[in-house]
């Protein structure tokens, strides 16, 4: 479901349902100084999916996310999108969004931050006001719209960041441990935002080391360990019967090296 028809036209979408997904990664490898940090990862992310990337710290989850989102170039291998639609880097940028572990906000008001993102996400000027209102309402921040963003609490800031990322109605949203240091109320609010966005058609790829969060949200799980996806599949199967020893140990709360 896309919310703004005129904007959809602006984005050059022939049918409303055409998206840059599926995302197909083939044989991704990332090396630094001879160290192989990502080892031959291939995966697919389909439209409307909710994928949780799980694994211990240092496994390469954040790196993988950045490779998929296009922030870093792989040493070898390829990240491919839905060919006909995703032509030109501008389109790819506009249809994706990413949320980082610590909220990154500009020194301006709450609503100005959202407006800035909408501008770069290609939302035409007349539609921005409505998009800002919708985003702030959904995040429960409407009353704070004029407040300088940096004065918000950390939880509110991260909510704003998520709302800002979703304001442009992206095809896919990447999140790198977005709730790692937040209070439970904020975690709950942000998870609700993600579920809601996913229901509206945005694919979500969420990196976390919080098993509880993975259980709550994930429909697909990718388990990453030492730079490789050693197990992936539907969530209930993964949690019910992990196929690999490492995944099993991890789910039992053991430290795997």
Partner 1 sequence: MGDIQAAFSLAAGLIFSGDADLFEIVGLSLSVSVTAVVIACAIGMTLGAAVAVTRFPGRPAVIVFLNALMGLPPVVVGLGVYLMLSRAGPLGVLGLLYTPTAMIIAQTILVTPVVAALTRQVVEDLHHEYDEALKSLGVKGVGLVRTLLWDARYSLITVALAGFGRAVAEVGAVIIVGGNIDHLTRMMTTAIALETSKGNLALALALGVVLVGISLAVNAAVSGLGGVAGRARNV
Residues that bind partner 1 (CB under 8 A): 66, 69, 71, 89-90, 93-94, 96-98, 100, 104, 106-108, 116-117, 120-121, 148, 150-151
Instruction: Give whichever of 23 and 221 is closer to partner 1, judged by the CB atom.
Output: 23
Q: Are strands 50-54 and 220-225 parallel, antiparallel or unpaired?
A: parallel
- What DSSP line would sit under 195-233, residue for residue? HHHHHTT-EEEEEES-HHHHHHH-SEEEEEETTEEEEEE
Minimum Å gap between C-beta 81 and partner 1 is 15
Tell me whether residue 13 or residue 230 sits nearer to partner 1 (CB atom): 13
Specify the residue, 58 or 70, whose C-beta has the smaller distance to partner 1.
70
Q: Which residue's CB is nearer to partner 1, number 95 or number 225?
A: 95
Supply the minimum distance, in Å, between the C-beta of residue 212 and partner 1: 27
Q: Considering the complex, what minimum distance in angstroms separates the CB of residue 119 from partner 1?
A: 9
**What is the closest distance, in whole angstroms, from the C-beta atom of residue 53 to partner 1 in the complex?**
17
Per the listing, tokens 């992936």 go with 232
Shortest CB 211 distance to partner 1, Å: 26
**Spatial distance between the Cα atoms of 68 and 141, rounded to a whole number of angstroms:** 30
Q: Is the peptide bond before 22 cis (omega within 30 degrees of 0)?
A: yes
Closer CB to partner 1, 20 or 246, in the complex: 20
Q: Which is nearer to partner 1, 87 or 188 (CB)?
A: 87
Name the minimum Å distance from CB 184 to partner 1.
25
- Residue 236 CB, shortest distance to partner 1, in Å, is 32
Of 119 and 200, nearer to partner 1 (C-beta) is: 119
CA dist 123 and 126 (Å) reads 8
User: Which residues, 6+ apart, have CB-to-CB distance to 99 below 8 Å?
Assistant: 158, 161, 162, 165, 173, 174, 175, 176, 178
Torsional sign, CA 195, 196, 198, 202? negative
Q: Read off the tokens for 251.
A: 């789910």
Measured in residues, the chain has a length of 257
Alpha carbons 176 and 62: distance in angstroms, whole number: 6
């Amino acid at each position: 479901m896309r919310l703004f028809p005129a904007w959809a036209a602006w984005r050059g979408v022939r049918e409303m349902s055409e998206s840059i997904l599926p995302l197909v990664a083939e044989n991704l490898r990332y090396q630094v100084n001879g160290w192989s940090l990502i080892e031959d990862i291939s995966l697919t992310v389909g439209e409307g999916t909710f994928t949780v990337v799980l694994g211990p710290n240092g496994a390469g989850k954040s790196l993988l996310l950045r490779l998929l989102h296009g922030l870093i170039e792989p040493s070898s291998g390829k990240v491919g999108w839905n060919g006909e639609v995703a032509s030109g880097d501008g389109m790819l940028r506009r249809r994706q969004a990413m949320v980082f572990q610590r909220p990154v906000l500009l020194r301006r008001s709450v609503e100005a931050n959202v407006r800035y993102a909408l501008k770069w996400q290609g939302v035409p000027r007349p539609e921005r006001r409505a998009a800002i209102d919708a985003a702030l309402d959904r995040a429960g921040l409407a009353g704070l719209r004029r407040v300088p963003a940096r004065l918000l609490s950390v939880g509110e800031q991260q909510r704003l960041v998520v709302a800002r990322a979703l304001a442009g109605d992206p095809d896919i949203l990447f999140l790198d441990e977005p709730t790692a240091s937040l209070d439970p109320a904020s975690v709950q609010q942000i998870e609700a935002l993600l579920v809601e966005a996913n229901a509206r058609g945005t694919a979500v790829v969420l990196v976390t080391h919080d098993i509880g969060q993975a259980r709550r949200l994930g429909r697909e799980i990718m388990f990453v360990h030492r730079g490789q996806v050693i197990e992936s599949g539907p969530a209930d199967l993964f949690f019910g019967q992990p196929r690999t020893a490492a995944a099993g140990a991890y789910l039992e709360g053991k430290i795997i090296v």
